[in-house]
Amino acid sequence: MGADTAKSQMALPRIGVHLLGELGGEADTCLQGLLSQGFTADRAALPAEEAATAEKQDILAVTGRYRPELHTPTHLSRLVGAQRDRTILFLSHMDPESFALFEQAGFSFINVTTDQTVKSLVGLIAQVDPNAVYQASKTAAMRASMSTEIANTVVDLFSRLRADPVAPKLAESHQQRRAMSALIGQSPMSVWIELIQNYHDGTAQHCSLVSGYTLAFARVLGAGNQQTGRLFDAAFFHDVGKAMIPLEILDKPGRLDPAEWEIMQRHVLHSHDILIRDEHTCGEIARVARDHHEYLDGSGYPNGITAPQIDDITRIITICDIFAALTEKRAYKPAKPFDEAYSILKSMAGTKLDPDLVRLFEKVAAECDGRLGRAATAA
């Protein structure tokens, strides 16, 4: 490809893919597949009045089982308007007569298949506009390289802390925190969780996952930039003290005995000690790290403090921390599904966790599941 062509493709406006289909059907599966492959995509439920969010460069795809009462040439023509030549009819079980009627109505990308895979949809998108696939592949490649870079540096931070808790300058990871925040910001939660699950070091993976949930929660809570930054930092560093816990305990495939559990609990004090002496992190982060296993009813550790002594930022990190612990894979346990993990949070609301915050967290849990179908923003 010549430099001029590459330049002109770089300047192209971002092409979105709008899926029109029934809730919980093939459209949802296709949406998750497209988002994970770097497409900017969303889904609207049929019957819709208009494909209101579509820009002129966007591509529309009607998915699901063909239903004669819903997928009429008249209705779909009105719905997609002038974008008929950028509309894919990706429907199963359509009879040849109906197929002919759509052709007569000017639809040229019609695919009738009972096997509605993301792969075949991407093939159709490539026929409508190869640039959409080109843009998606660039986004996916960028995410993968950012993810690898962040993973390496976060794992490195923990290895260095393990070797010498005094030597590493935590402020050096400031850039990584910013990069991670950008990565999470431009990926849907479900995609980003997949990236993080490729991390090798359990604690680095966990701190990254808690940071992601915290960022999503900050968005739901309407936190401003400064507040979001404070929350993100508190999440990113909350378990740094685990670098001081022997790996045999951290990675033990099974329940810890009382002596091991006592050692494990010390990680909050190690975190506090590391963070409090770092000139670039403020006392708040150290305090959150110390208190993130405390519960409102006083049943937590290390000090058994109760509701009046537990501030909002700590309550937020505690919720994100528990949700991460439940939904991450470990050598000794599989990841719990998001809805099951949220039910566990709900069972702790009021006694151990802040009930209002747990209620608001439902949006984050739903977003992780892809149930909200939040569109990915352009890279």
Contacts with Fe ion, residue ranges (CB under 5 A): 239, 321
Contact between residue 235 and residue 207 where contact means Cβ atoms under 8 Å apart: yes
Nearer to Fe ion, 89 or 210 (CB): 210
Nearer to Fe ion, 58 or 321 (CB): 321
To the nearest 10°, report the CA torsion of 312, 318, 320, 321.
150
Q: Least Å distance between CB 358 and Fe ion?
A: 17
Nearer to Fe ion, 132 or 286 (CB): 286
Nearer to Fe ion, 121 or 313 (CB): 313
Nearer to Fe ion, 46 or 268 (CB): 268
Q: Least Å distance between CB 268 and Fe ion?
A: 6
Nearer to Fe ion, 321 or 367 (CB): 321
Q: Least Å distance between CB 116 and Fe ion?
A: 40
Q: Least Å distance between CB 190 and Fe ion?
A: 21
Q: Least Å distance between CB 320 and Fe ion?
A: 9
Nearer to Fe ion, 125 or 353 (CB): 353
Q: Least Å distance between CB 265 and Fe ion?
A: 9
Q: Which residue has the tokens 């260095």?
A: 160
Q: Least Å distance between CB 293 and Fe ion?
A: 6
Q: Least Å distance between CB 365 and Fe ion?
A: 17
Nearer to Fe ion, 86 or 290 (CB): 290
